[in-house]
Structure 1
Amino acid sequence: MTFKNEQYKNAAKELDNPDLDGWEFVVESHGIKIYRFLRQPSGLYEYKVIGVANIKAETCAEVYMDIAYRKTWDSYVKELTYISKANPTVIYWEVDYPWPMSNRDYVFLREMDVCTDGDKKVWTILGRSAKANELSQRQQVDEKKGVIRVRDYEQSMVIRENQNGTSQIFMHYYDDPRGMIPTMVVNWAAKTGVPGFLTTLEEACKIYDKTRNK
């Protein structure tokens, strides 16, 4: 496995015992609390998201992993495709930035582990930027003219089912978009974008469930 067992355990245990030492509370929305931590020397914040979402855990995990479906509900996706479906999956992702900023793209690794916590099922999804020496020649993706490659990206998502059909959620996120964007603007966009993403994800899960039930 690309990600160590200890990384899965550390992510999963933050569902009930989040490590928030030195973290600043940002906002609470729809039962979800968001915290941030200033990472040096970048001057950018990383985020932790903790709370209960009004969606089924299994649906949330499926929607989060389904990159074909994400292209239908995430308006910021310019391109999203598998480079390799072997474990870990290697994914190419281009994000549509508003003019006059350049788009950003990612080549990242992602794995999912499914386990049980007592009588409850837990999905843990880990992702990070791929290093060049981790990719085969066939998996390398040339950089595009006018698109900035993000080389420092980390995201973990832990989802545990609740008996009432809701989900206990923990997410940890950091990304350095590079380029000539003021740090203040990047931090503002992340602060507003994280809760916006969760709201959109929740709506996408509801549509996904309705479509599947039909």
Structure 2
Amino acid sequence: MSLHFTDGEFLDALKELDEPNLEGGWEFFTETMGVKIYRLFDKETGLYEYKIFGVLTACNPEQCADVYMDLAYRKQWDGYVKELHEKDYGGQIAIYWEVKYPFPLSNRDYVYVRERKDVDVDDRKIYVVLAKSSPQSLLPQKSGVQRVNDYKQSVAMASDGACGTKVFMNYFDNPGGNIPSWLVNWAAKSGVPGFITDMQKACSNYSNYCQKNKK
């Protein structure tokens, strides 16, 4: 049973895997490594929300979902992770994630909740992961680290009909303060292909990682 998200939220994410909803001002932003990125300007924050559609060719969807959920493994393959763990914060189970940023930018950190559902639709398995910030968790902010209290992400994954994974992602991140436009563009144009490359490599190595870390 979902604790933080409704069935409708999971349904919305998996529907976009095959029928992208780009109405209401979404614009094409860029395409890289076979992945298309669209963005929507948020007038209230002055930031963009992103939708990403594409295929990861080097991993099947179940493995891709397992890698995406494995926090311990991510600390090994994601070079931007400074700290990442799940624990009880003041009575709520949440994930703490600190992300490295290059000087002179401050690192960012997140406290968020997430859930995964594996859904059977028309004889096809779709893996959906939803996440959102949880600012009510009682975790003091670190000095010199920018806390992100407005964060959401949805991911849907299914077979591409061959050996890869068809992926949809919806992402919004508001760290507050004044954010230079070059940083926003860099994160979308450079960060996405870098993440795809790292994710595919992580999928390829996941079986070996699981074998080595069997209890």
Q: Give TM-score, length-normalised by structure 1.
A: 0.88
Equivalent residues in 2 for 1:141-156, closer than 5 Å: 141-156=139-154
Which runs of 5 or more structure 1 residues have no equivalent in the other structure? none
Q: How many residues align?
A: 206
Shift in alpha-carbon separation, 1:191–1:89, aligned structure 2, 3 A: farther
Shift of 1:31: 2.5
Aligned equivalent of 1:96: 100
Instruction: Specify which of 175, 183, 200 is matched with residue 202 of structure 1.
Output: 200
Q: Identity rate of aligned residues, in percent?
A: 47
Instruction: Specify which of 71, 78, 83 is matched with residue 75 of structure 2.
Output: 71
Distance 1:68 1:212 in 2: 11
Distance 1:27 1:141 in 2: 37
Equivalent residues in 2 for 1:42-121, closer than 5 Å: 42-54=45-57, 55-84=59-88, 90-121=94-125
- Tell whether the 8 Å contact from 1:148 to 1:179 is kept in structure 2 after alignment: no
Which stretch of the first structure deviates more once superposed, 106-115 or 172-181? Answer: 172-181
- Tell whether the 8 Å contact from 2:55 to 2:160 is kept in structure 1 after alignment: no
Aligned equivalent of 1:193: 191
Aligned equivalent of 2:35: 32
Which stretch of the first structure deviates more once superposed, 32-41 or 1-10? Answer: 32-41
Give the counterpart letter for 2:122 in structure 1: G
Distance 1:26 1:182 in 2: 17
Does residue 5 of structure 2 align to residue 3 of structure 1?
yes
DSSP 3-state at the match of 1:18: coil
Shift in alpha-carbon separation, 1:120–1:78, aligned structure 2, 3 A: same
TM-superposition CA deviations, 1:134-167 (whole Å, max 9, x none): x4xxxx2111111111011111110112442211
- Tell whether the 8 Å contact from 1:120 to 1:162 is kept in structure 2 after alignment: no
Which stretch of the first structure deviates more once superposed, 65-74 or 41-50? Answer: 41-50
Which stretch of the first structure deviates more once superposed, 146-155 or 189-198? Answer: 189-198
Distance 2:133 2:21 in 1: 23
Instruction: Specify which of 17, 20, 24 is matched with residue 18 of structure 1.
Output: 20
Distance 1:163 1:189 in 2: 30
- Tell whether the 8 Å contact from 2:114 to 2:129 is kept in structure 1 after alignment: yes
Distance 2:201 2:167 in 1: 16
Give the counterpart letter for 1:150 in structure 2: V
Q: Which runs of 4+ in 1 moved over 6 A?
A: none
Which runs of 5 or more structure 2 residues have no equivalent in the other structure? none
Shift of 1:29: 2.5
Distance 1:189 1:30 in 2: 15
Give the counterpart letter for 2:5 in structure 1: F
Shift in alpha-carbon separation, 1:89–1:61, aligned structure 2, 3 A: farther
Distance 1:180 1:23 in 2: 23
Shift in alpha-carbon separation, 1:39–1:184, aligned structure 2, 3 A: farther
Shift in alpha-carbon separation, 1:210–1:111, aligned structure 2, 3 A: same
Q: Give TM-score, length-normalised by structure 2.
A: 0.88
Which stretch of the first structure deviates more once superposed, 38-47 or 5-14? Answer: 38-47
- Tell whether the 8 Å contact from 2:141 to 2:147 is kept in structure 1 after alignment: yes
Give the counterpart letter for 1:40 in structure 2: K
